[in-house]
Amino acid sequence: MKQISTRFSMAVHTLSLIAVSPGELTGDFIAGSVNTNPVVIRRIMGMLKKAGLVDVRPGVGGASLRRAPEDITLLDVYRAVHVTEENQLFRIHNDANIRCQVGRNIEAVLQSELVEAQTALEQRLAQTSLNDLVARFT
């Protein structure tokens, strides 16, 4: 079973660090806290920047939030780091046998359930701000 990418949790970790320590955080410092390679953090920071969540100063280093922590939701982060492929959290296997009653119908039957599950997840993520998480760190 393929898991959801860890980019999401790493991005939330990164944004939380920036919110808690808005000073001169370098990619190396963030990578040390996340316990990953700085290249991975640079890639994630690029996605967050493209989504308008952070500003990154090249060279000397340093990152800052472009919006207040209470204005950044977990859904914003989820979308910024492309957790889903083609906007679908769940994928259905291809090439089911259409001569089989289940194979012929599984995609249509299952798809509506999976869309509802993804919608529920996204609605829940939209209810939690970065500020809500940061408040729990102390």
25-46 pLDDT tens trace = 888 889 999 999 999 999 999 9
Distances (CA, A) of 62 to 42, 100, 111: 12, 58, 43
Res. 137: pLDDT tops 70: yes
Res. 71: pLDDT tops 80: yes
CATH assignment of 7-135, given 3.90.230.10, 1.10.10.10, 1.10.4100.10, 3.30.530.20? 1.10.10.10
List the domain boundaries for the chain.
7-135
Residues 39 and 22: their CA atoms lie apart, in Å, by 21
Residues 38 and 89: their CA atoms lie apart, in Å, by 27
99-126 pLDDT tens trace = 999 988 888 889 889 889 989 999 999 9
Decide: 15 and 54 in contact? Cβ < 8 Å. yes
